[in-house]
């Protein structure tokens, strides 16, 4: 990207390095990953909201929709209006710290404690563990956009270094804390282990809801732009973009409703 200002995305890099075939392969990989991550965010939202409000149901004619499915649909409808995400995006910077503090408070002062021990190696859990680890570092699709938006691009490496160090410290802290709290019984989302009869677990769950909402737009926007670029120039307008975005949200919602657990999706990813 330093050498050629026309390179804006990973598919552009793939084409420069390996021609049209490289662009096709890189596009397929990166957009499949973005799609699966978007689905994962919807599942996260549905799981945590149904944990907070387990008895909520909507009745339409002879159909009753409740639990996780209801909240996945509601979140998808909210996320389809990407404008509102700007109001919550800034808060995600502090969300991770608040989650760690609230879960630590739950263990220290709400009676859970740090008395459990996990298995050193669990081969059956490796697919989920590796995928969860990769999911934590799923921000790489936005690196080109981040690089292009920087005024001083020479600081890009320093930005990545600081970001990854802070993120890794946060993830390692959560891993150790949750292992000591719940041992082998810890869920793929630790918030599902928390009882909501105290204030601190509710804070952790509510804060967990912020990150997927704010990041969903970052994941689906590159896919929307790529699909729009496939159309003739005469069809590249606002209405087409809204239609593509809506169809994409419907597709991610459908997959999120079909896949019952976040851990299953992570094993696949």
User: Among 33-42, 175-184, 249-258, which is the least confidently predicted range?
Assistant: 249-258
pLDDT the model gives residue 261: 60
In the three-class reduction of DSSP (H, G, I as helix; E, B as strand; rest coil), residue 37 is classed as helix
The DSSP element (H or E) to which 66 belongs, if any, is strand 63-66
Q: Indicate if the pLDDT at residue 10 is higher than 80.
A: yes
Please name the residues in contact with 213: beta carbons below 8 A apart, sequence gap of 6 or more.
41, 45, 75, 78, 79, 85, 88
Within 13 Å and on the Cβ side, how many CA atoms surround 183?
8
Bridge partners of 65? 58
Q: What global pTM score does this model have? A: 0.63
DSSP state of 153: G
Tell me the pLDDT tens digit for each residue of 187-234. 777 877 887 777 887 788 777 776 666 677 667 777 777 777 777 777
Report how far apart the first and last C-alpha atoms of the chain are (Å, whole number).
28
> What are the start-end ranges of the H helices in 53-151?
67-79, 86-89, 92-109, 126-136, 143-149
In this predicted model, what pLDDT tens digit does every residue of 94-117 receive, in sequence order? 777 888 888 888 888 887 888 887
In the chain, % of residues over pLDDT 90: 3
State pLDDT tens for residues 50-86: 766 666 666 565 655 655 565 566 666 655 554 444 4
| CA dihedral sign of residues 215, 84, 42, 107 | positive
Q: Could you tell me which residue, 268 or 187, shows the higher pLDDT?
A: 187
Q: What's the mean pLDDT in 127-137?
A: 77
Q: Tell me what pLDDT residue 86 has.
A: 46
What percent of the chain lies above the pLDDT cut of 70?
Answer: 75
Give the pLDDT band of residue 249 (cuts 50, 70, 90): confident
Report helix, strand or coil for 252: helix
Average pLDDT over the chain, rounded to an integer = 75
């Amino acid at each position: 990207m330093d050498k050629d200002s026309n390179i804006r995305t990973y598919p552009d890099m793939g084409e420069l390095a390996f021609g049209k075939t490289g662009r096709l392969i890189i596009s397929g990989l990166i957009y499949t990953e973005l799609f699966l991550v978007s689905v994962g965010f919807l599942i996260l939202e549905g799981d945590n909201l149904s944990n907070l409000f387990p008895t909520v149901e909507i009745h339409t004619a002879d159909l009753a929709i409740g639990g996780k499915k209801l909240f996945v649909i509601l979140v998808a409808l909210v996320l389809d209006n990407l404008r509102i995400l700007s109001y919550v995006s800034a808060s995600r910077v502090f969300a991770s710290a608040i989650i760690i503090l609230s879960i630590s408070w739950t263990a220290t002062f709400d009676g859970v404690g740090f008395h459990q021990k996990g298995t050193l190696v669990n081969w059956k859990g490796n697919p989920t563990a590796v995928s969860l680890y990769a999911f934590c570092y799923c921000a790489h699709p936005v690196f080109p956009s981040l690089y292009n938006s920087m005024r001083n691009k020479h600081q890009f490496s320093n930005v990545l270094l600081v970001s990854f160090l802070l993120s890794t410290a946060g993830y390692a802290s959560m891993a150790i804390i949750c292992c000591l709290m719940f041992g082998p019984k810890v869920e793929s989302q630790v918030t599902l282990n928390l009882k909501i009869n105290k204030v601190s677990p509710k804070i952790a769950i509510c804060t967990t809801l912020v990150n997927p909402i704010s990041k969903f737009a970052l994941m689906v926007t590159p896919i929307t732009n790529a699909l729009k670029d496939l159309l003739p120039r005469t069809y590249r307008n606002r209405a087409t973009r809204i239609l593509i975005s809506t169809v994409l949200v419907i597709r991610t919602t459908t997959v999120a409703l079909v896949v019952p657990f976040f851990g299953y999706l992570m094993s696949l990813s």
